[in-house]
Structure formats: C-alpha cells, structure tokens
Amino acid sequence: MVRVTTLVLCFALTFPFSFAYADIVFDGRLSKGDFSGYRALEANGTRFGGALASNGIPSRLDRVRDPAGSGQLVMRATHIDGDLPIYGGYRSELSTFHDPIGSERWYSWGYYLPETFATAKNNVVIAQIHNTPDIMETNSRNPTLAVLVQGERIKLINVFDYDKITAPAGTRPTVGVDYERRELASWDLHPGRWTFLDLHVKWAGNDTGFLEFWKDGTLLFQEKNHINTFNDERGVWFKSGLYDWSPSPDPVSTYFSGVIIRDEKEMFQSMLMSRMLESNISLNPLLRWSVEQDLRDMIGDAIARRMLRPAENLIYKHNETLHDAVTGDGKEMFQSMSVSLVPEPDIYLMMLVGGAAIGFFTYKRRTTLLTENPVPA
C-alpha cells in the first residue's frame, strides 16, 4: 500500500493541484457495513427502514460475496415470479436519504449483471434518482434519473419539468406535454463483469443546473446551465437494485456495490487512479474500485481532474445544438461538442516534474533491490 500511495502522489505532480477535499455525505458500500445506513429497503410488497432491516430482506435484498470472486461483500437484488408489487411495480430496491434541490453531489457506484441478463426480455431499472412531489401534486411521474436496461443496451434517462406543479394529485401526466424526458447516454450490456459509474450534478428545477456522467472513467455526457429535475420544494434520493413493472417468469438478480455520495467540487476521476493501480497491483475490479475510493479520501482529493475535465468552451449551453458522437469501439454514445483540447503550458512543467519524480523512485527501488539481491557472477 505504501508503494501504491507513493506512486499515486508522484503521479499527482503531473497535474495542477486544486486542493479540493472530499466530504462524504454517505458511504453505503456493502463491503464496509450492512443495510442499516440506508433509509429504506423495499421488496415483495414490503418496505422497511434500514435500521429495522440491517440484514436485508431474505432472498430479495441480500448481502453476499462478489460474484466476480474478489471476496468483497455486495448487495444482491432479486425479483421472483409471484412477488407483490410496490407503488405499481415489482421492486427489490434500497434508498438513501434525501439530497436537497440546489445541492451539488457526486454519486459513485458499481453494478454487476449476471449472464442471464443477456436474454432478459423485460425493461428493468437498476438504479434511479427519485424525486419527492410537492403537496397536491401527482406522484405518477418518472424518476428524475434512471439507469435502464432495455434489450442489449443500458440507457441513462433524465426527466424534468419547469412548472411548479407538473399535474394535480390523482392524475397521470403525459410525457412531452406535462414534463420532458430525454436519453443522455447509452452503452452495451456487458454482463458478467463489474461496471462503475460516476455522476456529478447540481440538482436544479431551472437552468442553473449541470450534469456530468462517467462510465468506467470515460466521460459520456456533460452539460451546463440546464434543468435536470422537477421543480419541487423537497429533494431527491438515490435508489438501486431492481425495478421491473411487468411480471417475469424467471428470477432476475443484479449486484450492487453500494453508493458513495460526496459533495466536493473537485474529484480525482477513477480512470486515472485505475491506471495507476492496474500497473502496480493486480486486483479484482470491485476490490480495485474500493481501494480507489479509500485512496481518494485518504489523500484529500488533492489531485485535480483537469485532464478529464473539458475546458469551459467544451461545456455546451442548453440552447445549443447537440449531436451524437461515438467513442472507442463505436458502441458508447454520448452528447458533446467536438473541440480539440490542448493542455495549458504550465501542465507540461508539472508533467516533467512528475515524470522525474517517478523516475527517481524507480531508480531508487532498482538500486535497493540490486543491493539486497546482488546478481551472481
């Protein structure tokens, strides 16, 4: 661990410092504790407070070992044929406490879909950020953000409304008339392995909001000065697990790492940390992600995200025209503007200093090894 930390700090010299410190609002990793920190658990027609269901809901929300073999504890959410519905759907979900409208938050979590998902026919939501309707307002609305499994793709869906009252209580509003719904990003299913997501957002029911979204360290969506939720007095909350609104003849399960929620304004993005860890220690993806989170908090997030944060002119206004772009293997879709990013001159100096520091420690390490273990003549 000392070697990894030293290399990470050396690597930090290649980037300008921001000295932004992490302030964890909620750490819900199941490897760190049970379900008691969560506000609510819902499954098979029942709803419990986390303090009353610290061990989960048997066979629906369980704390189990990582199916990928890291040995870490994670949540398994399961929907079984014959389960009773909750609020119009078949749910095996857990919920965090509320984040207020106007708050700036980072949400980091991972999910694992079994191979059986490749043949699943139902649409299933595996994570969502829900909103709280105002008094006398309808509660028949889509969640403000949802990670939706649909066929062989996973989609990030956003719903919002400028109006104070979307529709009166007891009525069912119409998408496109009473509120807006849009797809922000999509990616392949990738069953049988862990996928890690990061969401940076300022929740706003008007055009003061912003939203950034990463999958496995790759930026898929970014916008500034745009509404991203309903215009409600009360806040939003994170949910994860399984939400299916049609019966399924076969049991369906997903796995969830647990979510970490922060309120800092700068965060060292996991892609950089992953590269450092991959080159120095061999870890299962879930374990490596957990180490990243701990290191991130330990060093106070002093490493800036400037290599991942596009320049201000990359961030588009809400009234500018969007276009789709394709990255990597041509299968991950995001919306952005096409510009070429050129680092500022001071970055080159920092990179030289960082490279020299890494070279120095590598030389010292090699010298020590040769001294302790001389090569036979």
Q: How far apart are CA 133 and CA 119, in angstroms?
A: 35
How far apart, in whole angstroms, are the C-alpha atoms of residue 109 and residue 198?
A: 7
**Residue 368 pLDDT more than 80?**
no
50 assigned to some structural domain: yes
Task: Answer whether residue 84 is part of any domain.
Answer: yes
Contacts of 317 (CB under 8 A, 6+ apart): 224, 225, 226
Instruction: Give the separation between CA 135 and CA 169, rounded to whole angstroms.
Output: 8
Tokens of 96: 């965090």
The H or E element that residue 80 is part of is: none
**pLDDT above 50: residue 54:** yes
Phi and psi at residue 3, in whole multiples of 5°? -60, -45
Q: Which domain holds residue 231?
A: 24-263+310-339
Which residues are CB-neighbours of 366 under 8 A, at least 6 positions away?
none
Task: Look at the pTM and tell me if it is higher than 0.85.
Answer: no
Domain membership of residue 360 (yes or no) is no
Summarize pLDDT for 181-219 with one digit per residue, the tens: 999 999 999 999 999 999 999 999 999 999 999 999 999
Look at residues 148, 208, 143 and name the one whose alpha carbon lies nearest to residue 179: 143
Nearest Cα to 79, choosing from 64, 54, 59? 59
Closest CA to 86 of 48, 113, 52, 136: 48
Q: What is the pLDDT of residue 295?
A: 78
Question: 352 in a domain, yes or no?
Answer: no
Average pLDDT, the chain: 78
Report yes or no on 11 lying in a domain.
no
pLDDT of 23: 81
219-232 confidence digits (pLDDT tens): 999 999 999 999 99
Q: Report pLDDT for 122.
A: 76
Between CA 212 and CA 197 the distance in angstroms is: 11
pLDDT bracket for residue 360 (50, 70, 90): low
Q: Does any domain span residue 12? A: no
Q: How far apart are CA 62 and CA 64, in angstroms?
A: 6
As a whole number of angstroms, the distance between CA 1 and CA 280 comes to 10
pLDDT of 307 above 50: no
Between 278 and 256, whose confidence is greater? 256
How far is Cα 160 from Cα 166, in angstroms, rounded to an integer?
9
8 Å CB contact between 23 and 262: yes
Return the biggest CA–CA distance within the chain: 87
Q: Is residue 147 in a domain?
A: yes
Model confidence over 71-93: pLDDT tens digits?
Answer: 999 999 999 989 999 988 899 99
For 290, residues 6+ apart whose C-beta sits below 8 A from its C-beta are 29, 31, 72, 257
Task: Tell whether 13 is covered by a domain.
Answer: no
Residue with tokens 């649909």: 150
Q: Say which CATH number the domain at 317 has.
A: 2.60.120.200
Residue 110's CB is within 10 A of a number of other CB atoms, namely 22
Q: Could you give the number of structural domains in the chain?
A: 1
- Give CA 10 to chain center in angstroms: 27
Element (H, E) at 20: none
SS3 140: coil
* Residue 8 banded pLDDT, cuts 50, 70, 90: very low
